[in-house]
Structure 1
Amino acid sequence: MEFTVTTANPAQKKAGVLVIGVFERRRLSDIGARIDQATDGYLRGILANGDLDGETNTSLLLYDVPGIRARRVLLVGCGKASEFDRRAYRKVNAWVAGLLERSRATDALTCLPAIQVRGVDAGDRARVTVEATETRRYRFDEFRSEPNTPKHPLSRLALHVADGDDKAKAEAGIAHARSLAAGVHLARDLANRPANVCTPTHLAEQARALDQQYDHVHTTVLEESDMEELGMGAMLAVSRGSREPAKLITMSWQGAGPDKAPVVFVGKGVTFDSGGISIKPAAAMDEMKYDMGGAASVFGLIRACAELRIDANVVGLVPAAENMPDGAAYRPGDILKTMSGQTIEIINTDAEGRLLLCDTLTYAKRFSPDTIIDIATLTGACIVALGHHASAVLSTNDQLARQLMQAGERAGDRAWQLPIWDEYQEQLKSPFADFSHVGGQPAGTITAACFLSRFTKDYKRWAHLDIAGTAWTRGDSKGATGRPVPLMLQYLLDHHDGR
């Protein structure tokens, strides 16, 4: 897909479709009004007929517009001008991306990036436009005998902006969006692959492929024998029930000097979760291939960092394993010794993700991280609390939690903070071990984070992202979303990019 930026008069540019924004009460955007001068008021006349008021998710496609070199003009509703903020702009661009795909046009010129949006510069506007287009273009056809691709896909999109300064910002925004899209697409591909293909070994192979593809990405893989030497009793207990050997994957992006402490991201990589001995019900168990959504997002983030060549040091840790009910599988009531030396009582083998994470959080200490963030499809309770709109963020550092939420807001990948007060720690008491690994039904997302916090006491800046409600969608559009790659990349750019 080719993206370009132009400051030339849109009325004089050839295109399959020219996109113009219209606000409610039939008011053309400023750039639309200027284009209308070339049509001798034709567009205003069309709006006066009442065919388009300007409400969101409405549009009108015009042919043979006088004074316009584009073959068609697409008028798109932008809602109320007073409410046209970052979220509204993102929503309109997503709507337009779908319309352009259905238009069968192979090239288009959009004037939406020229519309002023409160608190959003030309770079961000261009970025959102490209992100929306790339999201719409994504297809997962690896296992189809015939790919489900459009016969006439959009291959070129030009973005109109006001002037030269905006053009430079827009071009930077396009570069950001393309890098992010590369990462999100990788995350979605990995999570969408079936568990008989996307095994822990497959993830290790994909990590090595990134090492080969990018000069400053370096990958190492620990085998189960290495984990035994390290004392990773929690992670190894999970993998015991599977014929697929566990892997502990390290991917590092070295974009800054060696003296700069890295940001470490730990992604839960359960490539299939049957629930183990505490087996899940059959309904929707096929979705448990997505239980490595946290791992997939770490892969996507490393690729996005490499594509954008971010000036930061980033380490991605992926503990990968299957959770299966073999005769050797771990059991409720078992007591495990973790790499930290702490012992835990197993209550439910379907709470396996935190066992992979806890040993990996301890392992991460060797990287002396500035900040450590773990990402996991960890608890169904998170969906009960926040639905499918926001990921949960829990942290012992409120500043870090706020930074992640702000990054999510800007990236259109929202998160919301839940408390992690000491009172919730009481639910993890055990009569037989240092503590239990499950705190019961009440506040399940919070007590899961409380469990993880017991392995992060050496870190001043740690946060946990529960993406159980946001990592994939159900129904007709079932599939991986690639979240929270946008949030994590934006966080790095906001707080760790040295440029």
Structure 2
Amino acid sequence: MDFEITSGSITSAESDCLIVGIGADSQLTPSASAIDQASNGYLSEILAQGDIQGKSAQTLMLHRVPGITAKRVLLVGLGKQGERQDRNYRKVVKAAMDQIKASRLKSALFAFDGLAADDADSYRQVRHLTEWAGAELYQYDETKSKKADPILLEQIQVQLDEELRDIGEFAIQDGAAISNGVSTARQLGNLPGNICTPSYLADQALALGAEHDSVEVTVLDEAEMEQLGMHSLLSVGHGSDQPSKLIVINYRGAGDNDKPHVLVGKGITFDTGGISLKPGEGMDEMKFDMCGAASVLGTMTAIAEMGVELNVVGIIAAAENMPSGRATKPGDIVTTMSGQTVEILNTDAEGRLVLCDALTYAGRFEPQTVVDIATLTGACIIALGHHATGLLANDDELAARLLEAGEQAADKAWRLPLWDEFQEQLDSNFADIANIGGRPAGTITAACFLSRFTKEYRWAHLDIAGVAWKSGGKEKGASGRCVPLLCQYLLNQSADEE
């Protein structure tokens, strides 16, 4: 898909479709007014008939509008001025893209005049338009015998004043890269567990390394992890025929002496719960239990495309959690890479078991910050629903930076406390720590467990259990969150360090 910035007269622009906004109560935006004037009041006549009132995400396709060069004009309702937050803006973009795809257009030009969102930041508006339009072009047909009808759209243009062209071009470059990263994460999440295994994730990482000179990938096998003492991570894959992997993606966008930021992703490619078997209903969705790993791969893809001037290490702890005669049992005790022992009271609390060894491994990079991303607890869905990522951290500044990045990227997170009082729920009579702390504050006690392995550096935990995928109906599938949040966070870090 080719995204580009265009300037000049909207009425003489050559495109299959001009997309212009209509405010509440049929108010014409500047671009709509220019078309109306060129067409001798054609739009005003249409609006007077009441076919569209400017309500948010309303659409009306017009053909052969007189006085303009474009073949069609798509009117899109922007809603009232106070309604134009990010959520509304995304609905507007989606509504426009639905019409573009349905009409099988090859080109489209968005001319919203900066009025579709309540944010005056042109970079942010254009980047979000690029990201969200790109998201609507994603189709999953990898495992279908009949492939999806190809989307014919080849070019999307965004109308901006000439003095904003440079800002717009930067926004398009970043937005397209982030969109590609989100699509990468969605595709990995949507693949079934018999295809997307730990070895498959490793192969995808190696392919990324082959594509970019700035990326170097190392894959540790079970024997190498055994030598490092990663018995906690290895315990999760004991019941599976699929070998576990530790995947290390090293992106170098800054000087050799610059310490990296580290992202750690939970990569449970299928989670049956192990011996603590999950209920059968909905278990198919446990292919999404590697969406933390997918978000790391998606983010590394995006920053490599953007050429972010930062050193970043992505670590993926990949395993399959299956029941068998070799599987870890409730009550078993394992020794982590850190030397701490863990009593495994529930084998379905396996994400923290792979993450703790990966977090210990992260320490060898002397990181500036470490952020782990995981579909870790159902309790996070109870706490925050399906709208916000759960955030916990041992550093207030890091937490604030992630929250800020989430707001900027329209990929929100919400902070939960990480108080010492919760640590007591993880006490064990037989090991240094238990892997569960009971039902109360399940998201917090899971983060408390991880915090035992992150004392040497600034660390934050993102629980994406509620946002990583959607269930049921046509919307079912991976979301690609929180690639936008992570990309924004790293872009901000790069800007600060520069």
Question: What is the TM-score with the length of structure 1 in the denominator?
Answer: 0.97
Q: What letter matches 2:179 in structure 1?
A: A
Instruction: Give the C-alpha shift of residue 64 in structure 1.
Output: 2.2
Which residue is equivalent to 1:435? 433
Which residue is equivalent to 1:305? 303
| 2:463 is the alignment partner of 1:473 | no
Q: Is the 8 A contact 1:97 1:132 kept in 2?
A: no
Hey, what's the Cα distance between the residues in 2 that align with 1:98 and 1:329? 47
Q: Is the 8 A contact 1:57 1:77 kept in 2?
A: yes
Hey, what's the Cα distance between the residues in 2 that align with 1:496 and 1:429? 40
Q: Is the 8 A contact 1:113 1:125 kept in 2?
A: no
Instruction: Give the C-alpha shift of residue 31 in structure 1.
Output: 2.6
Which residue is equivalent to 1:245? 243
User: How many residues matched?
Assistant: 496
Instruction: Give the C-alpha shift of residue 117 in structure 1.
Output: 4.3
Hey, what's the Cα distance between the residues in 2 that align with 1:40 and 1:270? 61
| 2:284 is the alignment partner of 1:286 | yes
Listed as ranges, the matches of 1:57-456 within 5 Å are: 57-112=57-112, 114-115=114-115, 117-150=117-150, 153-162=152-161, 164-456=162-454
Q: Is the 8 A contact 1:247 1:320 kept in 2?
A: yes
CA-based RMSD: 1.4
Show CA shifts across 1:348-380 (max 9, x none): 000001000001101111000000000000111
Q: What letter matches 1:154 in structure 2?
A: L
Instruction: Give the C-alpha shift of residue 113 in structure 1.
Output: 5.2
Q: What letter matches 2:471 in structure 1?
A: R
Structure 2 alignment gaps of length 5 or more: none
Hey, what's the Cα distance between the residues in 2 that align with 1:64 and 1:20? 15
Q: What letter matches 1:269 in structure 2?
A: G
Q: Is the 8 A contact 2:276 2:347 kept in 1?
A: yes
Q: What letter matches 1:471 in structure 2?
A: A
Q: Is the 8 A contact 2:78 2:116 kept in 1?
A: no
Show CA shifts across 1:44-83 (max 9, x none): 2221222211111211122222212222111110011244
Q: What letter matches 2:262 in structure 1?
A: V
Select between 86-95 and 236-245 the one with higher mean Cα deviation: 86-95
CA change 1:306–1:83 in 2 (3 A) is: same
Q: Is the 8 A contact 2:59 2:95 kept in 1?
A: no
Select between 97-106 and 468-477 the one with higher mean Cα deviation: 97-106
- Give secondary structure in 2 for the equivalent of 1:77: strand
Hey, what's the Cα distance between the residues in 2 that align with 1:72 and 1:82? 29
Q: Is the 8 A contact 1:124 1:170 kept in 2?
A: no
- Give secondary structure in 2 for the equivalent of 1:98: helix
Q: Is the 8 A contact 1:113 1:159 kept in 2?
A: no
Question: What is the TM-score with the length of structure 2 in the denominator?
Answer: 0.97
Instruction: Give the C-alpha shift of residue 387 in structure 1.
Output: 1.1
Structure 1 alignment gaps of length 5 or more: none
Q: Is the 8 A contact 1:54 1:78 kept in 2?
A: yes
- Give secondary structure in 2 for the equivalent of 1:258: coil
Q: What letter matches 2:212 in structure 1?
A: Y
- Give secondary structure in 1 for the equivalent of 2:223: helix
- Give secondary structure in 2 for the equivalent of 1:442: coil
Hey, what's the Cα distance between the residues in 1 that align with 2:208 and 2:15? 37
Hey, what's the Cα distance between the residues in 2 that align with 1:294 and 1:337? 24
Instruction: Give the C-alpha shift of residue 472 in structure 1.
Output: 0.9
